[in-house]
A and B are shown apart, each in its own frame.
Chain A
């Protein structure tokens, strides 16, 4: 690698690392993995720098590399071939599809939506319950807010069918709701 290129790259590391990291963290919500993606972005940039013609700004170019890495990251996560187990739903539904008597969603009485969402304890329970889900499931329910994309776009990027996607979301949400109800109302 010649000296000019090394100087450019070091300058870019200094200038753009922070922005790239914040973006990656916002998109994937995992600081360790976000750091890895930013590092990989610069390594890829070092490899491909010959093809960077200065037509876009270095920042735009680095962000486009990072965005590809983020998409790959999600594709790997969500397309892992975990079979959709029906066992997970058998906890909640009878064979004919009705709720099990003991797992029916209860009336969350005296609960004001807005107050609830401001409540630190509720947020903590939500986080705990999200963390308890299989990684693929918790990623799936967060994707919409991470990527600010709609269902069609999410499925297209991930290369999965729409029905496969919302079935994963359904399983995740049924479990999440149950976990929150148990934890929130146990006291």
Chain B
């Protein structure tokens, strides 16, 4: 009975990542929980992974910077003009 609930660290970290995107099954949740009670490295991994997710989110939101639109507009007009001829 126990062995079907035991995960390797590779599998446990896969589930940790999967959970950011998909709902885990009951069995997967149980497997992961059990693994973490026995494994400090994967418990650390999960904490770090959450921090990194938040970090990526913040990083993405900071990307809205301005630039010179005039140049882009003139480039587009130039290309539009070229396709006419």
Contacts and interface: CB of A to CB of B under 8 A. Distances in A.
B26 interface: no
Contacts of B20: 144, 151, 169
Contacts of A9: 80
Contacts of B84: 1, 6
B82 to A, nearest CB: 10
A150 B21 CA distance: 6
Interface string A129-159: 0100000000001101110001110100000
Contacts of B73: 13-14, 17
Nearest to B50: A113
A29 interface: yes
A170 B11 CA distance: 10
Interface string B1-35: 00000011111011001101110000000000000
Contact of A98 (B9, B63, B77): B9
A39 B79 contact: yes
Interface in A1-27: 1, 6, 9-10, 13-14, 17-18, 21-22, 25-26
Sorting the interface of chain B by its residue count into under 10, 10 to 19, 20 to 34 or 35 or more gives 35 or more
B57 to A, nearest CB: 5
B80 A173 contact: no
Contact of B60 (A42, A146, A180): A146
Interface string B40-79: 1110110111111011111111011101010011011101
Contacts of B37: none
A17 B44 contact: no
A97 B72 contact: no
A131 to B, nearest CB: 11
B47 A108 contact: yes
Interface string A56-77: 0000000000000000000000
Interface string A156-182: 000000100111011001101100110
Given A105-B44, A152-B22, A173-B49, A123 B10 contact: no
Contacts of B52: 126, 173, 176-177, 180
Contacts of B58: 117, 123
Interface of B: 7-11, 13-14, 17-18, 20-22, 40-42, 44-45, 47-52, 54-61, 63-65, 67, 69, 72-73, 75-77, 79-80, 83-84
